[in-house]
Structure 1
Amino acid sequence: MKRLFIAALLPQDACLHLLTLQQALLDSAVSCRLTRPEYLHLTLRFIGEVGDQQTAEITAWFNKLNKLDAGVFPCHIAALDNFVHREGLTVYAALEVPESLIRFQNTIEQGLRALGIPA
């Protein structure tokens, strides 16, 4: 089983801003585990645990998809929020992104549902 998600890379300025915010959290937290800079991303769709056959189907579908320009998309950190899970608290940034990225995310969602991947 593989744990899959589809993500977009963040612009460098957004990454730098997030790294500054991470440092502030680290300075004020009792305990904190940070995301390494190379792993910062915008999750477009969390898929979850899937087997090899379904991984191959999703990969084939995604490779045929018309992708957005591989260049950087503008984004703005709109807010910080969090959620609790069994390992603790996860803090995340809510981003404002262009409409083209929202449409692409909707295309991803529709395609995955057509493959039988639930929302």
Structure 2
Amino acid sequence: MRLFTALDLPDDVRAQYAALQDPDALDARWTSPSQFHVTLRFIGETESDQAAEYENAIATIDAPAAKCVPYGLDVLPSRRSPSVLIVGLERRASLLSVYRSISNALEAKGLEPESRKYRPHVTLARLGDLSPETVHHFLDTHDANDLPSFTATRVHLFESTLRPDGAVHERRVSGSLPPPQD
């Protein structure tokens, strides 16, 4: 099974992010809004006994709720070779705290440390072989300055099933994140 950990979006935020999707302006593979999430750690292919260890790790998360603040539309991995259209999220202390806590818990159960810098985001579309100029035009003509922030109070372990029309994610287990301390 293919696993990852993530935060969910509230339904009202999910709807506002979905409004940014514009199939008439960009011929991309758009993510179903029901599948929107903020990935914390991608785990990958995992045997069932190891998956049970990762499920147990979710209960050990020791971080307060994460404040997720969007900075706007962006692309991954870079503007020069865009392959994923995202709503980028600021690297706020509370979000990074959840990321570190989940990373530590999973690594204690055998997951290799992440070698890439964490770039929190919500995936809107896979861009395929669109030219950078086409993607840049989309970014320039679609306003995403007033996107709502949200606070994530639960962390989830998802199983991802790859299908021809995109991945489908199902929650395996969830854990609570206590309210932030003032």
- The TM-score by the shorter chain falls in which range? 0.7 to 0.9
Normalising by structure 2, report the TM-score. Answer: 0.51
Corresponding residue for 1:55? 51
SS at match of 1:113: helix
Instruction: String of CA shifts for 1:7-57, please: whole Å, max 9, x gaps.
Output: 10124454234212212xx1222x322111111111111111111011001
Corresponding residue for 1:80? 74
1:99 is displaced (CA, Å) by 1.7
Normalising by structure 1, report the TM-score. Answer: 0.74
- Describe the shift of the 1:99–1:67 C-alpha distance in structure 2 as closer, same or farther (beyond 3 A): closer
Q: Give the unaligned 5+ runs of structure 2.
A: 115-182
Task: Give the whole-Å Cα distance in 2 for the aligned partners of 1:96 and 1:15.
Answer: 17
Is residue 2:24 matched to residue 1:34? no
Task: Give the whole-Å Cα distance in 2 for the aligned partners of 1:115 and 1:93.
Answer: 31
Contact 2:70 2:87 in 1 (8 A): no
Does 1 or 2 have the higher relative contact order (CA < 8 Å, sep 6+)? Answer: 2
Aligned residues: 110
Instruction: Answer 1 or 2: which has greater helix percent.
Output: 1
Q: Give the unaligned 5+ runs of structure 1.
A: none
1:63 is displaced (CA, Å) by 2.6
Corresponding residue for 1:46? 42
Amino acid at match of 1:36: S
Contact 1:5 1:44 in 2 (8 A): yes
Amino acid at match of 2:43: I
